[in-house]
Structure 1
Amino acid sequence: MTTRPTRRAALAAGACAVLLTGCGLSGDPLEAAGGGGEACSTEQPQAGPIKVGAADFPESQLIAELYAGALKAKGVNASTTDPIGAREAYLQALGDGSVQVVPEYTNSLLNFLQPDTKVKGTEQIYAALRTAVPCSQVVGAKSTAEDSNAMVVTKETAQKWNLKTVSDLAKRANEVTIAAPPEFRTREQGLVGLKSTYNLTPKAFRPISNTATLAAALKNGQATAANIFSTDPSITTNGFVVLRDDKQLFGSDNVVPLIARSSATPTVQVTLDQVSAKLTTASLAQMLKQVVVDKRDAATVAQTWLRQNKLA
């Protein structure tokens, strides 16, 4: 997974986005309980055009097409935008009203909002996230589809060093070059966490944004290990080995819609929750292969899946 989305200052520029605790609860958009005990606005969400933003990697853009297609099928004037960038950028867009919905990942977003969180477990992470987001946002229902940061090596490296876990890789830290998106350098779910959780400080770090280039760096020996999202087709097509995250640094990353509270009408919430109810890890990986490997149009792939699941 080029990476999911550290310019905290950029996030702070949006008044809504700077609150790191709040009451972003799924269900009733006007619900006021939540993190920090702050009361959310009781202003009614308004029906209107919905722009679905996405991060700058294919899976996020595909999920955005799923959300927009499902909303359009329910009569909502929904469309997708061009890829926005890393998490800092698309959260600011959500905060300033440039977009109304973005696909997110539960553990990655929680760690972004609360870097010191120690929460583990799928349900616990989701519950914590719902109270961590600003009052200006609503967390929709989580899907069972999960796509986590992963440390990946070639089959040859895994066999040579007998690697099965990230802890195994840490024992070879002084021989390891890690390739990953640039923000991996400063993220808790990155080099920072690898050092604190696994005592893994690599010999070298190669910042690479594009997943195909990451895979190539791993194949040609420019990197010993790479950070690639667990559903990325390059893992299976290249026979890479995903190392088990035995100390749970990367956690449980379920796909979830993040909605601007001002646009979270019952129709919008229910529709996006219906997508979450149908979306699985296997179906997401299969659709992503069609987009990345087979070069099919993401909107077309999304529309086919929505029709198959009676959501369009």
Structure 2
Amino acid sequence: MKRIATALAAIMVLSACGGDPLTGGNNNPAPTDTIVVGSANFPESTVLAEIYAQALAAKGVKVSKKLNIGNRELYFKGVQDGSIDLIPEYSGVLLKHVNKEATEVAPDEVYAALKKSLPQGLTVLDKSAAEDKDAVVITKQTAAQYSLKSIDDLVPYCKEFVFGGPPEFQNRPDGLPGLKAKYNCEFKQFKALDVGGPLTVAGLKDNTVQAADLFTTDSAIKANEFVVLEDPKNVFAAQNVLPLINEKKATQQVRDVLNAISKKLDTKVLLDLNQKLASPDKPEPEKVAKEWLASAGI
């Protein structure tokens, strides 16, 4: 019953965000003259999708958008069935999604393995220098109390800690299974929260969870003086931002536009974009994307 309730709640949230939840096999293929741009259900993915869509549209490419779809397990079905053509992705986690046995961790090795592992009909374009990893994050107070700097330091205390993160973190190879396999770290309890969002941040702040999964470019880390634990055994591989696209839609014009964006993206840009999205006036991702494209001369 709990799983059913969680699934229903997720669908309601996605609907409220204007997303188009995908079920795989029940979606119409994208029109042949249009590139359908999708995004996952967190702000960074949405603003990157807006950057892709606006840049392509400015060059005369016909685009439509399906934003805030959900997690990778959900939206990847849409990419495979052709109802989504293009989506911003992260190299390491995408590699693990298509090849759970992958062991590559360095940026170039991950990228090369990913290109070989993708299903027929899909490809990735140039990777950017921008990187956003999942990370085990704790509060400054917890770090001081237990003298924690790395996940290795955390191991003796894992069974005392409640861990918080998105539901899928329980089963992904680079989630709890990876922490168990590489560090022998099993937490006292897992608390399903959100994708690096306000529930996770609040859980850390009020000590509902003592450790959590957050993205390294999340502005909440600096704002709350959270501590990102080092990952010496590389549970979290390189995570370079790059476009995942339907090969049939990857014309030379489209490749040139998207590769130009990747050339301009770095981790500082991601941090700046996230900081703007989290600012008090809460600007729409569409506006933030438009401003960045102008500043980047794209």
Bin of the TM-score, shorter chain as denominator length: 0.7 to 0.9
Shift of 1:13: 5.3
**1:1-312, aligned counterparts within 5 Å?**
48-210=33-195, 211-294=197-280, 295-311=282-298
CA distance in 2 between counterparts of 1:297 and 1:194 reads: 35
CA distance in 2 between counterparts of 1:91 and 1:174 reads: 34
**CA deviation string 1:97-132 (max 9, x = no partner):** 211101110000001111111112110000000111
CA distance in 1 between counterparts of 2:23 and 2:267 reads: 30
Identity of aligned residues (%): 38
Shift of 1:246: 1.1
Shift of 1:82: 2.9
Where has structure 1 moved over 4 Å in runs of 4 or more? Answer: 10-14
CA distance in 2 between counterparts of 1:194 and 1:254 reads: 21
CA distance in 2 between counterparts of 1:11 and 1:185 reads: 21
**CA deviation string 1:16-58 (max 9, x = no partner):** xxxxxxxxxxxxxxxxxxxxxxxxxxxxxx9721111001111
Number of corresponding residues? 271
**Aligned position for 1:28:** none
Shift of 1:291: 1.1
Q: Which has the higher contact order (CA 8 A, sep 6+)?
A: 1
Indicate conservation of the 8 Å contact 1:66/1:306, yes or no.
yes
CA distance in 2 between counterparts of 1:203 and 1:97 reads: 41
Indicate conservation of the 8 Å contact 1:233/1:293, yes or no.
no
Amino acid at match of 2:140: K
Shift of 1:77: 1.2
**CA deviation string 1:132-166 (max 9, x = no partner):** 10121111100000000000000000001000001
CA distance in 2 between counterparts of 1:273 and 1:47 reads: 22
Amino acid at match of 1:221: N
**CA deviation string 1:172-213 (max 9, x = no partner):** 112111001001111111110000001000011100025111
Shift of 1:223: 0.5
Relative to structure 1, the CA distance from residue 264 to residue 133 in structure 2 (aligned partners, 3 Å threshold; closer, same or farther) is: same
Shift of 1:284: 1.2
Relative to structure 1, the CA distance from residue 56 to residue 204 in structure 2 (aligned partners, 3 Å threshold; closer, same or farther) is: same
CA distance in 2 between counterparts of 1:246 and 1:171 reads: 16
CA distance in 1 between counterparts of 2:115 and 2:213 reads: 27
**Aligned position for 1:34:** none
Amino acid at match of 2:167: P
Structure 1, unmatched stretches of 5+, are: 1-9, 15-45
Structure 2, unmatched stretches of 5+, are: 1-21
Shift of 1:12: 7.9
CA distance in 2 between counterparts of 1:196 and 1:13 reads: 34
Relative to structure 1, the CA distance from residue 49 to residue 131 in structure 2 (aligned partners, 3 Å threshold; closer, same or farther) is: same
CA distance in 2 between counterparts of 1:82 and 1:109 reads: 18
CA distance in 1 between counterparts of 2:81 and 2:175 reads: 28
CA distance in 2 between counterparts of 1:181 and 1:282 reads: 25
